[in-house]
Structure 1
């Protein structure tokens, strides 16, 4: 099978979506299928050291290509021009070089990219599949023009696909009446490569969070408030926030809160760190935490970081949002708290540290859950079967 992936995210170094699609491609390759990842726009910010600087190459055996430079220009006008050029270079490359594609998998919500890829799929008779892990337009402002665009998009765009890969039952249900009658869906939950997270006897005593330091997505302010309350009862445990605060919409609020509560010495914000460093610090942590709040985004998503947290074998503290309680069991394989409740989070942290021997058992059970439910081998094999069903299906 020849699989072409259009990924509108940084690659090979990126956030959750990048890691998820990489595990797709890795398993496709391991199973003998040809795969290439194409990134259809520059992704690296011009004012930082680029994490991805190669126009093309291989990462863990997966070939990838940026049709234009990975680094965004420092000029607003030139960035728009480069986005325009990158779109045409991407489509030109696909039409010239990927004619033998059996499945075109797109992770991109731009209507013009989707429409162009649909034309390619019709012309070369390949299956066109969308991977979507977020509720559509959940981050859009609610205004007149956005509402019109959202309505037209939802009514028309999702009917262009032969198949959808979604991350949760709620997304599956949402799309049931928005795809064409011949299309198929498959639910693929969060993924992890458990081999990358070997259990460690080390214990730094740290409470570790990894991610975007964003309140709307990850409840970063709830985590900070819960930690401050916990620290008053149980001092001496550092909170480590592994992420780039400079790209967070809540940067000023986070800094102000830390300063107001005199927490500069007790809360470490690492900034961007290499993935190997991140994995080591996660594996050495005492607790891995995510205070995801209750909102529409959380209702329909399933945070990938949960699978990676569980893979470490360390105790995981998170909230009962979205698909999390569907898979995780409180005080058996994780610690679950009510969302938007920093006081309960603080009390649960106290419970973990007051009986850490029991917490270690919970952490061990969590790793077993990750191996049984979220390891990429098992889940991506379902996608391969799904693709074969699409290819064998008569329209």
Structure 2
């Protein structure tokens, strides 16, 4: 699809283009970041092509080590209210954070326009006061939900995460009192929020998304050595121990395979991963590249051979839809993916990807062996997976539906 496509306009009774003022809001890294950041960027990239839409980004807090706190990215202005708030500082400075954010939202409100706050994530203790004030000002609040917090307690280890999860589980039961709209990433979440809102709030299904400008148009054969690949947050749901065990199994019989890991996670998750790698008899063939910026990440993804999305079998993992899967498919590489959530809604086993039983180390190892032993089939799977991503996950294709939804609320 043409990346410069201008979406169909809507006009008011006077024949003028309906104007919208959309503020993308939340607590995530911007403009460089991981899955949540990219989901927001794709929505912005789609909507900014439409005439009559004013877009800005307001971040509650983020690290100045990762991003410049205030600036412009791809023509869109963004502002971080307070940078570098961690732990107890977040609690101590929360009144100032709230007041400063409310001031920015008041100054950003545009009379006689459709004012929308696109909040990434659910209502929580830090944003609910701000969003309540914004609603009083006249903003319509849209929540973009990508996780089921009713199932998140199973992966909570820290006290702070448990407290956050508990308050979110309470507040989402009353989401209809704040929300003009709810956007979800999976069928599970679609059903959940339709029930929670008693079908009084329109729920829009927006799955994972892909920007095809980042990927090579040609598909190469396997390299030597063949490189397996994982990128993400190294969380429990991601099943890194399974992938590492499967790699050890395959590496014992194949000297021409290696594993590349990128991303970042909690201190505990990264410590456990490094400890597991240190204990591998094939640790010399496992490389952790660290957290990569966008250019380095896509360059790496375009150079590897077999991307692996090997999630565990848990209610939490099945509730969402892994963003990385869309990126993996768009690369044109043969993807190994756990059969979770909405995966089978879009992909067919051994046609678009190799689907494995979640939590099954041997199934992952067998999938790798199959691709190594069937290079021509692997190439066809990669081509078909890319086409599925183009049809279902191209952010341009999703853009008109998202625009129509936001105009309808």
Give the alignment's TM-score, normalised by structure 2.
0.86
Task: Report how far residue 364 of structure 1 moved.
Answer: 0.8
Task: Report how far residue 27 of structure 1 moved.
Answer: 1.0
Aligned to 1:382: 401
CA deviation profile, 1:215-274 (whole Å, cap 9, x unmatched): x221111111111111112222110011236x3532333223222222321110111122
Aligned to 1:21: 40
Task: Report how far residue 79 of structure 1 moved.
Answer: 4.5
C-alpha distance in 2, partners of 1:151/1:323?
A: 23
Assess if the C-alpha contact under 8 Å between 1:131 and 1:164 holds in 2: yes
Task: From the superposition, tell whether residues 114 and 145 of structure 1 become closer, same or farther in structure 2 (CA, over 3 Å).
Answer: closer
Aligned to 2:204: 186
Pairing partner for 2:57 from 37, 45, 61: 37
Pairing partner for 2:109 from 98, 105, 110: 98
Matches for 1:338-377 after TM superposition, within 5 Å: 338-377=357-396
Give ranges in structure 2 of 5+ residues lacking alignment.
1-19
Assess if the C-alpha contact under 8 Å between 2:21 and 2:116 holds in 1: yes
Task: From the superposition, tell whether residues 233 and 358 of structure 1 become closer, same or farther in structure 2 (CA, over 3 Å).
Answer: same
Is residue 145 of structure 2 the alignment partner of residue 132 of structure 1? Answer: yes
C-alpha distance in 2, partners of 1:299/1:338?
A: 12
Is residue 67 of structure 2 the alignment partner of residue 52 of structure 1? Answer: yes
C-alpha distance in 2, partners of 1:224/1:60?
A: 38
C-alpha distance in 1, partners of 2:344/2:233?
A: 22
**SS at structure 1 position matched to 2:283:** coil
Task: From the superposition, tell whether residues 150 and 210 of structure 1 become closer, same or farther in structure 2 (CA, over 3 Å).
Answer: closer
Aligned to 2:76: 62
Aligned to 1:162: 180
Aligned to 2:194: 176
Indicate the RMSD between aligned Cα atoms, in angstroms. Answer: 2.3
Is residue 217 of structure 2 the alignment partner of residue 199 of structure 1? Answer: yes
C-alpha distance in 1, partners of 2:276/2:89?
A: 37
C-alpha distance in 2, partners of 1:349/1:146?
A: 38
Task: From the superposition, tell whether residues 262 and 147 of structure 1 become closer, same or farther in structure 2 (CA, over 3 Å).
Answer: closer
C-alpha distance in 2, partners of 1:148/1:370?
A: 35
**SS at structure 1 position matched to 2:257:** coil
C-alpha distance in 1, partners of 2:232/2:164?
A: 28
Task: Report how far residue 112 of structure 1 moved.
Answer: 4.6
Q: How many residues align?
A: 378
Aligned to 1:308: 327
Is residue 317 of structure 2 the alignment partner of residue 298 of structure 1? Answer: yes
Task: From the superposition, tell whether residues 106 and 180 of structure 1 become closer, same or farther in structure 2 (CA, over 3 Å).
Answer: farther
Give ranges in structure 1 of 5+ residues lacking alignment.
391-395
Task: Report how far residue 107 of structure 1 moved.
Answer: 1.4
Assess if the C-alpha contact under 8 Å between 2:349 and 2:355 holds in 1: yes
Assess if the C-alpha contact under 8 Å between 1:28 and 1:34 holds in 2: no
Aligned to 1:11: 30
C-alpha distance in 1, partners of 2:254/2:351?
A: 23
C-alpha distance in 2, partners of 1:275/1:292?
A: 23
Once the two structures are overlaid, the 10-residue window that deviates more, 127-136 or 174-183, is 174-183
Aligned to 2:99: 88
C-alpha distance in 1, partners of 2:99/2:282?
A: 49
C-alpha distance in 1, partners of 2:163/2:125?
A: 16
Pairing partner for 1:225 from 236, 241, 245: 245
Aligned to 1:393: none
Matches for 1:271-282 after TM superposition, within 5 Å: 271-282=290-301
Aligned to 1:330: 349
Task: From the superposition, tell whether residues 382 and 239 of structure 1 become closer, same or farther in structure 2 (CA, over 3 Å).
Answer: same
